[in-house]
Amino acid sequence: MSEAVPSPRRFRRLPLLSAAVAALVLGVAGGFLWFVHRATSPMPPGPEAPGIAVLTGGPDRVEEGLTLLGARPGARLIISGVGPDSGLADLAREAGLDPAPLAARVALGREATSTRGNAREIAAWARGAGLQEITVVTASFHMPRALLELRRSLPGVALHPHPVPPYLARPLPMLREYAKLVGAVLGLSALTERGRSAR
């Protein structure tokens, strides 16, 4: 019994498949290098916007937001993603600030559990306050995804990034954040959202 001979057409497909795989690998690698470059590139300070939005989830974010608020009389601040047991007094104490003069200008958002949730929470606050210009405070490597989700929720509002350390995380968290950014670009971030536990 003679063995089946592979079709020449199958061999012709191999270079196309190899080229497609190579293009995909190069695209992912190139995108990750852009992401790392963006995270580590210094950003010039933006204008003193009347709104300040902090996305919680890492060190120095809340402290920087409160410090900016203290330096901008008349500005308003939202801290999005605050835990159920944290109050303004606790957050201000960590920043070395007196919460009393700031309390009337600070909103604590407690519903967001994801960057997409942060964006919705901040958008509702900005619309209620009539804000058209916001300084966005989050970690540098988180900033691209934060701005992407915020622009979707706040079209037409000027967003000024104000990144804080860490500019880079360990390799695995950086890869995870890049994967989340790609997912957000593709509109898949809704699939990873979870609700805030009942309290």
Q: Is the pLDDT of residue 188 over 90?
A: no
Stated length of the chain: 199
The whole-number average pLDDT for the span 51-79 is 93
Query: What percentage of the chain exceeds 90 in pLDDT?
Result: 49
Q: What pLDDT score does 66 carry?
A: 93
Residue 27 lies in a domain: no
pTM: 0.80
For residues 166 and 108, the model is more confident at 108
Residue 39 lies in a domain: no
Contact 55, 81 (CB under 8 A): yes
Structural domain boundaries, residue 177: 46-189
Count of domains forming the chain? 1
For residues 47 and 195, the model is more confident at 47
How far apart are the C-alpha atoms of 172 and 176, rounded to whole Å? 6
The whole-number average pLDDT for the span 141-148 is 94
pLDDT category at 199 given cuts 50, 70, 90 is very low
Q: Are strands 76-80 and 106-109 parallel, antiparallel or unpaired?
A: parallel
Residue 197 lies in a domain: no
